[in-house]
């Protein structure tokens, strides 16, 4: 390991910026502002390296489906918003995963929605230790 790699560190923001600048070729940007890059394959691999530089949160669900396919080599077609075949009118816009946030889906009867649900025909009476067997 060279002194420069030791000094900068593999996970530091400076190292990320230098990797993008020196080894990455800018491919495109999505509607969220995420930027996508491609570089030469690592030693022993055949496919080019592809990665994303997130504009906001580094969350995998912030990558739209079209770009996810490109990142994982499912397609070599770079998504292009100007292309009429890019998004169909019936497709809903991409939204990131809301699990763990205030915007998360909570069905009726969920504890955080008051915990009350409609009775079902198969409801049961919960056993308690004070009841006779």
d(CA 126, CA 67): 49
Which segment of 12-16, 58-62, 117-121 scores lowest on mean pLDDT? 12-16
Is 132 inside a domain boundary? no
Tens digit of pLDDT for each residue in 78-123?
Answer: 888 677 667 778 888 777 788 888 888 888 777 777 777 777 767 6
CA separation (Å) from 74 to 42, 54, 68, 92?
19, 20, 8, 21
pTM of model > 0.85 = no
The yes-or-no verdict on residue 1 having pLDDT over 60 is no
- Listed in sequence order, the DSSP H helices in the chain are 3-8, 13-23, 65-71
Is 84 inside a domain boundary? yes
pLDDT band for position 72 (50/70/90)? very high
Q: pLDDT at position 36, please?
A: 92
Q: What is the token pair recorded at 15?
A: 């190292």
**Range(s) of the domain holding residue 72:** 3-113
Is 120 inside a domain boundary? no
Q: pLDDT at position 112, please?
A: 78
d(CA 30, CA 50): 15
Tens digit of pLDDT for each residue in 30-58?
Answer: 888 999 999 888 889 899 989 898 888 78
Is 122 inside a domain boundary? no
Is 72 inside a domain boundary? yes
Q: pLDDT at position 2, please?
A: 64
User: Of 60, 62, 65, 35, which Cα lies nearest the Cα of 50?
Assistant: 35
Is 78 inside a domain boundary? yes
Q: Radius of gyration of the chain from Cα atoms?
A: 24
> What's the domain count of the chain?
1
């Amino acid at each position: 390991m060279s002194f420069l790699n030791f000094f900068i560190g593999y996970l530091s923001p400076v190292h990320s910026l230098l990797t993008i600048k020196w080894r990455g070729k800018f491919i495109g940007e999505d509607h969220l502002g995420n930027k996508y890059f491609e570089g030469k394959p690592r030693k022993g691999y055949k496919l080019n390296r592809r990665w994303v530089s997130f504009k906001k949160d580094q969350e995998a669900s912030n990558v739209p489906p079209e770009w996810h396919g490109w990142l994982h080599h499912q397609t070599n077609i770079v998504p292009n918003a100007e292309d009429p075949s890019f998004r169909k009118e019936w497709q809903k816009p991409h939204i990131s995963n809301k699990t763990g946030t205030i915007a998360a889906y909570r069905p009726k009867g969920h504890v955080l929605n008051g915990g009350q649900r409609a009775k079902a025909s198969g409801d049961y009476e919960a056993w308690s230790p004070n009841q006779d067997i």
